[in-house]
Structure 1
Amino acid sequence: MPVTRTPIGLPRLDAAALAELAARLTPRDYEILSHLHQHRVLTTHQIQKIFFNLPQPTRRRLGILHAFHAITRFRPWTAYGGGSAPSHWILGRAGAAVLALKDDTTIAQLGYHPDTAMAISVSKRLGHQIGVNDFFADLHHHARRTSRQAEVGAWWSERRCAQLWGDLARPDAFGRWNENGRQLDFFLEHDTGSETLTKVIAKLADYANLAEATGISTPVLLWLPSRARETNLRQRLTSAEVPVATAVHTTIGDGPAGPVWLAVGSEGPRLRLAELGNAWPHLGRAAGSPAGADEE
């Protein structure tokens, strides 16, 4: 009788192995797997910010998931610090299989392929993706440790946004932030400084087209790498057809949830993320979620 061999490096995904894995998974584990599937890659520190309180339990749980091939990891080389970066985690084949079983679908219908998942490890957009995920990990972290009633109500990936609105605009992410009874829906443009300011500003025309098509003006947040770049951008962008606010990458204080945002056309003061709606009172009901954002 011929013996079926599993390729080197890939786990055997038979029913018994998947049943054992499923029996060990907690609701938080499923959330981790789902986030990795949706957002491609998360560092150990980002996973801790979103799901855990301390480093040791984070590493311990990730180690268990890794041992069962639910997740896999890589450590990209970095010129800064003279070595490799922290562990970067992506969804593994077994993790994709249990997600598919949970959703009563197949791995193929889930849209998972191990080569595609691992492609982020060599992508030129890895740093950009990590930056976008840092933004939302910091919001999660703030929500979990603040005395304010706060939560990340939505975090949609670039891929999901493109599927819904890509013919008009391609944000890096769509988010919803709730804090103390206030809610703000927004598109995120995570700027690394690699594009000219002319190109960054030109993107706003796409959001204006989306607002015209949907009848809803969703704020666009420009998350910039330096104060100098923000100053230069604001000097060139004195008004916009859609609500726009700028801030500089920071993890100090409350991070992106804090009073770091300045609406285009305003001289200040800077507002908390949840308060940004105050900057555009004239929009009224026209501001909010773009078409499809409330559909799950």
Structure 2
Amino acid sequence: MPSLPRPAMGPGSRCTARAVTTRPRPARHTDVAALSRTLTARDLWLARMLHEHRVLTTHQIAGLAYTSLRSAQRRLRTLHQHTVLDSFRPLTQTGSAPEHYTLGPAGAAVLAAHAGRDLADLGWRPSHTGRIAYSPSLGHDLGVNELLTHLAAHGRNTPGVGLTLWLSERSCARRWGDLVRPDAYAHWCDGEHLLPFFLEYDTGSQTLGRVEAKLTGYAAFATTADTRPALLIHTRTASRDQALRCRLAAPARELGLTIATSSADFTTTTPWGPWWSPLGPGDTRRTTLTNLATRWPRLGPAVELEPTDADTALTLPVSPLPPTPKARA
């Protein structure tokens, strides 16, 4: 099957457009202390999510935290005006891209104040949004976030099903960078079934040999009782998926890894569905994430997930969904 043309922008693209449009806002100083009367628990959660995952689009934020796109746009516009959020809209060859949101100066100051730290400890700089907007990895980062926001948002409408944990590439590197550097780590939960997994989001920019070389690190990552998380590899096209499966089948079997693959040709808006194909031996027919959890009983969550003395409020995992509003008495 021939490869599809790579999109110029968005999930699956190799690099961002060379210019972006920015949304103007009033040139005024934002009183960070005064924001304590304005910001809701959901606003603070969103600031933490953007600190953790760098960039989210309007549609991704709406799927995670709002009942409609319009209500999300209204609140995001307000947060942008107060500089809690920054935003940009990449230029595309056709049509228009959605608004892309990042952490703004007031949002960074609020997070630092909540953690009792200096702004420098947050790693935020005035050039933060510009670096993201023009980053060659923007398309890759958006693709990772798109896949996982769909999984997390699924839990809003289906109680007991969804992501209970989602760590970014940066958080993974901080915890396990000496062994593996996945694009994300997450827990998919469906009732009593738990699928802990590392995610490799493959856009085709790396050679097959380089992807294969990563397997030794995942094989060395064993938890108690010689269990480890699964490895999910998501590719841009079915042809790339087949090429990777042919290359990785033998080393995965030798290393004892539990791997499943899929591609964007299948996982559009329902990545939890029957789109994941286990990498032999045994039944390799496509199945759901929940069925993978039942098929692989020796899976175990990653180590070093519990808070330690080295953790701060800025390094603890962020819930994939916002806090539930408290009912008024």
Shorter-chain TM-score bucket reads 0.7 to 0.9
Per mean C-alpha deviation after superposition, the further-off stretch among 132-141 and 224-233 is 224-233
| Contact 1:158/1:170, CA 8 A, preserved across alignment | yes
- TM-score, structure 1 length as denominator? 0.87
Aligned to 1:26: 40
Aligned to 1:235: 246
Q: Deviations over 1:234-278 (max 9, x none)?
A: 22222412211111124546x221121121104333221122123
Q: CA 1:162–1:132 in 2, change beyond 3 Å: closer, same or farther?
A: same
Structure 2 counterparts to residues 10-21 of structure 1, below 5 A: 12=29, 17-21=31-35
Q: CA deviation at 1:291?
A: 1.6
Aligned to 1:293: 305
Q: Are residue 271 (structure 1) and residue 283 (structure 2) matched? A: no
Q: Deviations over 1:37-85 (max 9, x none)?
A: 1111111111111111211001000001001000011111223x2x542
Q: Are residue 125 (structure 1) and residue 137 (structure 2) matched? A: yes
How many residues matched? 278
Q: Find 1:257's aligned residue among 262, 272, 294.
A: 272
Q: Find 1:150's aligned residue among 161, 169, 174.
A: 161
**Partner-residue secondary structure (3-state), 1:259:** coil
| Contact 1:11/1:69, CA 8 A, preserved across alignment | no
| Contact 1:260/1:271, CA 8 A, preserved across alignment | yes
**Partner-residue secondary structure (3-state), 1:221:** strand
Aligned to 2:214: 203
| Contact 1:74/1:89, CA 8 A, preserved across alignment | yes
| Contact 1:90/1:117, CA 8 A, preserved across alignment | yes
Aligned to 1:5: none
Q: CA deviation at 1:212?
A: 8.0
Unpaired stretches in structure 2, ≥5 consecutive residues: 1-24, 308-315, 317-329
Q: Percent identity at matched positions?
A: 40
Q: CA deviation at 1:117?
A: 4.3
- TM-score, structure 2 length as denominator? 0.78
Higher relative helix content: 1
The answer to which structure, 1 or 2, has the higher relative contact order (CA under 8 A, 6+ apart) is: 2
Structure 2 counterparts to residues 28-47 of structure 1, below 5 A: 28-47=42-61
Q: Tell me, in whole angstroms, the C-alpha distance in 2 between the residues paired with 1:11 and 1:150.
A: 44
Q: Tell me, in whole angstroms, the C-alpha distance in 1 between the residues paired with 2:295 and 2:84.
A: 44
**Partner-residue secondary structure (3-state), 1:238:** helix
Aligned to 2:260: 245
Aligned to 1:3: none
Q: CA 1:163–1:9 in 2, change beyond 3 Å: closer, same or farther?
A: farther
Aligned to 2:98: 86
**Partner-residue secondary structure (3-state), 2:181:** coil
Q: Tell me, in whole angstroms, the C-alpha distance in 2 between the residues paired with 1:85 and 1:62.
A: 16
Q: Tell me, in whole angstroms, the C-alpha distance in 1 between the residues paired with 2:200 and 2:89.
A: 26
**Partner-residue secondary structure (3-state), 1:211:** coil
Q: Tell me, in whole angstroms, the C-alpha distance in 2 between the residues paired with 1:216 and 1:152.
A: 20
Aligned to 2:114: 102
Aligned to 1:74: 88
**Partner-residue secondary structure (3-state), 2:185:** strand
The letter for the 2-side match of 1:40 is: R
| Contact 1:11/1:94, CA 8 A, preserved across alignment | no
Aligned to 2:75: 61
Aligned to 1:184: 195
The letter for the 2-side match of 1:269 is: R
Q: Tell me, in whole angstroms, the C-alpha distance in 1 between the residues paired with 2:232 and 2:274.
A: 14
Q: Tell me, in whole angstroms, the C-alpha distance in 1 between the residues paired with 2:166 and 2:248.
A: 27
**Partner-residue secondary structure (3-state), 1:160:** helix
